[in-house]
Structure 1
Amino acid sequence: MDFSGSHILSIDQFSRSDVEKLFSIADSLEPYSSKSKVTRVLEGAILGNMFFEPSTRTRISFGASFNLLGGNVREITEVSSSSLAKGESLVDTAKVLSGYSDIIVMRHPEEGSVQEFAEASRVPVINGGDGANEHPSQALLDLYTIEKELSQNSKTIDGLRIALVGDLKFGRAVHSLCKILSLYSEVTINLISPKELKLPPTLLKQLAGSNIKINETENLEEGISEVDIIYVTRIQEERFKNKKDAKKYKGLMTLNQSIYTEHCEPNTVIMHPLPRDSRSDANELDSDLYENPNLAIFRQADNGVVIRMALFALVLGVENQIDNSSKPVNWTINREL
């Protein structure tokens, strides 16, 4: 892929070499994401952060990533605060807002909406999640996390054994992660979900055409044994036509320390794209896992910043200029507290 000036709409755009290039840039940006250094490489640039669905990590990390590269951020956080509420089309919105921004990140509840918006935009657009379809930057940060966590035990993504747990039907992060894992060899995926929330048939067919080995089960304990990574997702209540139906599946796939100790290998890493539903009727990851050193969910969230910085650097063509405006930070914060 030629990143410069490109829209980032789907994991289907990426080859394995593209992923490796992105990860290499992310590694080089770590001093800036950790605030050991400051760069102003995107000084004067404007990010249009358009989020028409609720978001905490994705919206704020995209904004923080752009700020850390020296750019400015303008945000829309709901349909009701934009002219879409007055009947303006996505096409008109794209044509106007792309005149105010140098790059746009968009999240929208309808599948295919970001693609439609990008086709009318005059600047690059990054998909921040379109309905139950895809979430490409989440998959990239998830894979980056998997690579880093596996390296602690001298393992690589080739040969990965991973369990995907929960709502596999509506979970867009899972959909994008499955696609990106198909770029690697000898990967085994255990799909663990109620039968009504299985991975969509189109994705299963796509995986079947790759080198991935697929196992499907409704039994959590069976599915999480003998894996390197457990990737848990919440029930995507907002995607159900009837929210009462979603409640039937809450709490069916809860992982706690007791289950982990009994059924998992000692170094099995626990991941979650967040937010996790911590309410008592769901509680997919129990709070007793906080002290488990293999709980990687907050390291995973941190990785979202550096991966999104790398995406911005590559799409805006500044990946080789970052150190030109580098300087030490002027403040000190103890982030270990």
Structure 2
Amino acid sequence: MSLTGKHILSSDIFDRDELERLFELADVLVPVARGAQVTRVLEGAVMASLFFEASTRTRLSCETAFLRLGGAVTSTTGAEVTSISKGESLADTARVVSGYCDLVVMRHPEVSSMNEFAAATNVPLINAGNGAGEHPTQALLDLFTLHREFGRLGKSMDGRRIALVGDLKHGRTVHSLIKLLSQFEDLTISCVSPTELRMPSELLELVASRGHRVEESTQPSSGLKDADVVYATRLQTERFKDKPLPYSDEFRIDRALVDRVCLDDTVIMHPLPRDSRPGANDLSTDLNQDPRLAIFRQTDAGIPMRMALFASVLGVDRQVRTAMRPSTWYRPEYTGPDDAPFYRD
């Protein structure tokens, strides 16, 4: 299957062969993402970056990925600074913007927004988050992170135990990720959340229909036990119309819990942002120097993975390998002081 010219609205579009092809291309593009190599395969192309909802990582990494490929970016952030605030429809916005660019990356608070926009545009649309719906590019970089982490550990994706923890009802990242995980074999998916925030039943049924084991728990101490991967998510307070449900202290994923129930080589992930305030019931900062914590390796993976996706959607993926050359500028060290020693090599 070719992704050229396709909208990327949901993780449903990817099969395992396509995932592995994207991972292979993203691996090739890691030196470009880090500034060691240069490619101009998208020189002259323009991406429109439309973020009608707050974003740091997704917006900046999508824009950086397109720029690293040699393209240009035009952007707007917040509905209040666009003509939508004057009553313009999303369909009219889509038709207008498609005349200005070759590809659109959009985030919007409404689940229905992507289909509405896609129906009115004639350029590929990449879903960068549609309310509590999906976030397919985040799921791709999450899986690419696991591809690299398991490669380092000598593990296969197949046969793993993966714990998804937190607000699984409103967390669009886990909605997209669980679909991609279901493309692999013989997984145990442990969904750990308060009862009111459980994973949507249709997603659990999809995973089970593909032969995987599904477990549900309200207790992280049992749901995380012996997991190869712990994927924590925050309480999606912006999705609650009423006062958010309180998280108990059990949902604080800290060093003590991880040491007690997880493996020595468990990969600990989070799509970010996490609540880093003292006492927050999220992924604790006391794990920052633990080499199992992969959250910043995860964010770094966003650039090469999104580069691979953009190159594929715009049909230049086969040109990348022959269109790379060394960079000539000074490059600072890309790792931070808390990064694991193996990641600095």
Q: What TM-score range do you get, normalising by the shorter chain?
A: over 0.9
Match of 1:328 in 2: 326
Contact 1:65 1:309 in 2 (8 A): yes
CA distance in 2, matches of 1:98, 1:335: 35
The CA deviation string for residues 8-49 of structure 1, in whole angstroms up to 9 with x for no partner, is 111111111111111111111112111111111111111000
CA distance in 2, matches of 1:336, 1:64: 17
Q: Matched residue of 1:49: which SS?
A: strand
What is the deviation of 1:228?
0.3
What is the deviation of 1:249?
2.1
Match of 2:52 in 1: 52
CA distance in 2, matches of 1:153, 1:329: 31
Q: Matched residue of 1:245: which SS?
A: coil
What is the deviation of 1:319?
1.1
The reply to whether residue 228 of structure 1 matches residue 228 of structure 2 is yes
Q: Which runs of 5 or more residues in structure 1 are unaligned?
A: none
Q: Matched residue of 2:318: which SS?
A: coil
Question: What are the equivalent positions in structure 2 for 1:249-264 lying under 5 Å apart?
Answer: 249=247, 251-264=249-262
The reply to whether residue 294 of structure 1 matches residue 292 of structure 2 is yes
Partner AA of 1:259 in structure 2: L
Match of 2:149 in 1: 149
Match of 2:343 in 1: none
Q: What is the aligned-residue RMSD (CA, Å)? A: 1.3
Match of 1:211 in 2: 211
Instruction: Label 1:283 to 1:217 Cα distance change in 2 as closer, same or farther (>3 A).
Output: closer
Partner AA of 1:177 in structure 2: L
Contact 1:10 1:135 in 2 (8 A): yes
Contact 1:184 1:211 in 2 (8 A): no
How many positions carry a matched residue from both structures? 335
Instruction: Label 1:251 to 1:95 Cα distance change in 2 as closer, same or farther (>3 A).
Output: farther
Q: TM-score, normalised by structure 2?
A: 0.94
Contact 1:91 1:120 in 2 (8 A): yes
CA distance in 2, matches of 1:121, 1:317: 18
Question: What are the equivalent positions in structure 2 for 1:99-178 lying under 5 Å apart?
Answer: 99-178=99-178
Contact 1:276 1:283 in 2 (8 A): no
The CA deviation string for residues 51-75 of structure 1, in whole angstroms up to 9 with x for no partner, is 1110000000000000000111111
The reply to whether residue 10 of structure 1 matches residue 42 of structure 2 is no
Q: TM-score, normalised by structure 1?
A: 0.96
CA distance in 2, matches of 1:325, 1:145: 25
CA distance in 2, matches of 1:324, 1:264: 43
What is the deviation of 1:323?
4.4
Q: Which runs of 5 or more residues in structure 2 are unaligned?
A: 337-345
CA distance in 1, matches of 2:152, 2:324: 30
